[in-house]
Amino acid sequence: MSARLLALLAALLLSACRPADDGLALQADYLQRLNNAAQGDAVDTFDHAQLTRYRLPTRRERLTAIPEVRIGLLDLLLDIRRCPEVQQLISQRNSILGKQLLPSSRLAYEGDLLRAIEACLPRLQAGADQALQRTLSELAGEKRAQLPAVFWNALNASPEVERYLRFAEQALPTTTPDDSAALDALTQLATLANSVPETLPPTATKLDPVFFALHASPQGGQLITSLASLSHTLNQASEILEQRQQRRPVCPMGRATARGRILQNIFIRFYAGALQPYLALVHQRGQTWSAALHTLGNAPQAPQATRDYLLSLAGAEHSLWAQFELATARHVRAWQQTLKSCGLAPGQAGWDANADNAE
């Protein structure tokens, strides 16, 4: 068997192993059917290169330098027998492993340390312990002031968050499992971003599952691809309908025509019957996703590069989410105007929910 034939077989096997991108296929089918029915010009298929505008900034741009707090820890360790939990945590942080904590682990550690210090302070008596009380209070104040930076470093250096917010090759599937764990995790992080330093980070047993939920979900990246591709598809489809009405109205006399009934069939079968349920799925997932990202992007002390990126996805204006909502509304208007001009819109005499005309 020739090398060329082997290469061809290998390519076919690889393509067969890849899951079908039914989200993008659905959009392409709808756009082509609508274009044929409206007798439009050639359509532009979605170009994945458009997704590069939603690439995360580099970590270097997103991370913040945090000064180490040094307070004579050796002396502290000797004098703090009445607060063993603080002693244990400080010893842990000074160990080789402690100095190599992952940013997300450090976030949980700082919360644990502050809780231990605040529990320790009331146990220290005035007089002999006064200097120690003051030292611990100062340490707690400095550590609490650093919490926002520690939080953002945990988020920005987290491979779990980076994976979740990296655009995907594939769009969200038309039938997709529940993703509430990841969406809840994103919402929890957004809430924490706006509550530190007043609210302390949770323990590792509570924080680790939050990051894991994002790591386990492919839907964050798929949602970015779906929103971008649907915005493209809906705007293309709206332009087809708008240009047809401007150039050569489907029903020039305001009465139903054969072409108008064909378009009504496209609306019922391929927009309302196929694309609209997918739009509803993307919108339902996207509402929670975009709300959490918008809250994160507007949180105090967010690094500028991170803020700009998050708001490019979910800001109130000119964001990926805002463009999707505008494209959806535009397409609904384009269909309303087209069908109303023929007397074939829902509620009009010519409306036929069971229309099944040939295309």
* pLDDT tens digits, 250-305: 999 989 999 999 999 999 999 999 999 999 999 999 999 999 999 999 998 999 99
Domain presence at residue 145: yes
Number of domains in the chain: 2
Confidence tier at 183 by pLDDT (50, 70, 90): very high
Containing structural domain, residue 71: 64-156+180-216
Is the domain of 258 the same as that of 274?
yes
Domain presence at residue 162: no
Is the domain of 225 the same as that of 303?
yes
Confidence tier at 70 by pLDDT (50, 70, 90): low
Q: What pLDDT score was predicted for residue 90?
A: 82
Is the domain of 284 the same as that of 317?
yes
Domain presence at residue 258: yes
Q: What pLDDT score was predicted for residue 55?
A: 94
180 versus 80: the higher-pLDDT residue is 180
2, pLDDT greater than 50? no
Is the domain of 192 the same as that of 152?
yes
Is the domain of 200 the same as that of 260?
no
Q: What pLDDT score was predicted for residue 75?
A: 55
Is the domain of 251 the same as that of 295?
yes
Domain presence at residue 311: yes
Is the domain of 270 the same as that of 327?
yes
Domain presence at residue 174: no
Q: What angle do CA 181, 159, 19 make, to 5 degrees?
A: 65
Q: What pLDDT score was predicted for residue 276?
A: 97
Confidence tier at 159 by pLDDT (50, 70, 90): very high
Confidence tier at 6 by pLDDT (50, 70, 90): very low
pTM here is: 0.88
Q: What pLDDT score was predicted for residue 305?
A: 97
27, pLDDT greater than 50? yes
Is the domain of 135 the same as that of 256?
no
229, pLDDT greater than 50? yes
Domain presence at residue 317: yes
Mean per-residue pLDDT over the chain, rounded: 88
232, pLDDT greater than 70? yes
1, pLDDT greater than 70? no
Task: Determine whether 24 is exposed, middle or buried from the number of CB atoms within 10 Å of its CB (0-12, 13-18, 19+).
Answer: buried
Is the domain of 33 the same as that of 136?
no
Is the domain of 133 the same as that of 252?
no
* pLDDT tens digits, 86-138: 888 887 877 767 677 888 899 999 999 999 999 988 877 666 677 778 888 88
Domain presence at residue 285: yes
Domain presence at residue 85: yes
